[in-house]
Amino acid sequence: MASAYGGPEVLSVIDVTVPEPGPGQVRIAVRAVGVNPFDYKMYSGAFGADPAKLPLRLGSEAAGVVTAVGADATGPAGPVRVGDEVIVYRAPGAYAAELLVPASSVVPKPAVLSWEQAGGLMVAGVTAVHVLEAVGLAKGETVLVHGAAGGVGLVVVQLAVARGATVVATASPAKHELLRELGAVPVAYGPGLADRVRAAAPRGIQAAADLVGTDEAVDVSLELVSDRSRVATIAAFERGAEAGIKLLGGGPGADPGTAIRQAARLQLTEAAAAGRLRILIASSHPLREAAAAHRESMAGRTTGKIVLLP
């Protein structure tokens, strides 16, 4: 958890007692935890620095094994039992070895996923679904995805391709081959991006998703998409508000998309179980090295998800 506001150096691990589950609750032995930009923004002061909220427990997604259940412990897929391998979302305070959560937050872990993949599936997955719903992407359309090789971007690409859309995906050249494998048309970001996107999509761009929050991503999206209601950002909240595009997620003024994201959980596990959705892991770190994981995430050069292993 974070004992103060600041950089990753404020993170530490402390021992707490996890109680027995009450009615409708389950206790989880955590096997993997997903790392997300929102985690370090919480203690950086980006969303305020109220000392009364300290210490901050971090994390919102995990995967693990059910070790105890309370009465009437039923999740979206049915009753939850001791020994079940599960994915937990939402899971406040997920940076932990044990969690006590509502059974409503628990869905079955697909056997084909490793613990690392399961721990990193949900935040990226539900965000990707929310983005595509928000921009109204339909079969036969073309969408521009900025930051396509990140955790959210890789899922957006796969889900958009599965919808029958064409995806023009920005990323550094080293990541282009992976994006081609997933069905996207990759382009390099940087000066001249709008022209490169036009060349890659001669029939035009109908929607855009900014997953990185740069001025370039917002500017090029506005230049190429005529309908601002079909441009969404999960990062550029100030610029996005000024431009009149859709703000999604946990930032100031953003639409949290709670109902869409909750409904997406079983869709995502079904797609993963069927082999229609790949979850790529950039790296894994011991839970006690969460600060190193955050520094890696902050650098913004990873391909896929970063996870913590208790």
Summarize the confidence of residues 10-24 as an average pLDDT.
94
Architecture of domain 8-121+279-309 in this structure? Alpha-Beta Complex (3.90)
Q: Residue 171: pLDDT above 90?
A: yes
User: Residues 196-208: pLDDT tens digits?
Assistant: 999 999 999 999 9
- d(Cα 51, Cα 108) in Å, to the nearest integer? 37
**The pair of three-digit structure tokens given for residue 187, joined into one six-digit string:** 């382009």
Percent of the chain whose pLDDT exceeds 70: 100
Q: Which residues of 122-150 are buried (b: 16+ CB within 10 A; e: fewer)?
A: bbbbbbbbbbbbbbebeeebbbbbbbbbb
* Mean predicted lDDT score pLDDT of the chain: 96
* Amino acid 46: pLDDT: 86
Q: φ and ψ at 200, to 5 degrees?
A: -80, -20
* pLDDT category of residue 256 using cuts at 50, 70 and 90: very high
User: Residues 31-71: pLDDT tens digits?
Assistant: 999 999 999 999 999 888 999 999 999 999 999 999 999 99
Domain positions in the chain: 8-121+279-309, 124-247
User: Residues 121-134: pLDDT tens digits?
Assistant: 999 999 999 999 99
Q: Is 276 helix (H, G, I), strand (E, B) or coil?
A: coil
Residue reference for tokens 């990707």: 128
* Amino acid 59: pLDDT: 97
Range with the poorest average pLDDT among 28-32, 53-57, 137-141: 53-57
* Amino acid 47: pLDDT: 84
Domain 124-247: CATH superfamily is NAD(P)-binding Rossmann-like Domain (3.40.50.720)
pTM: 0.96
Q: What letter represents residue 283's amino acid?
A: S
* Amino acid 301: pLDDT: 84
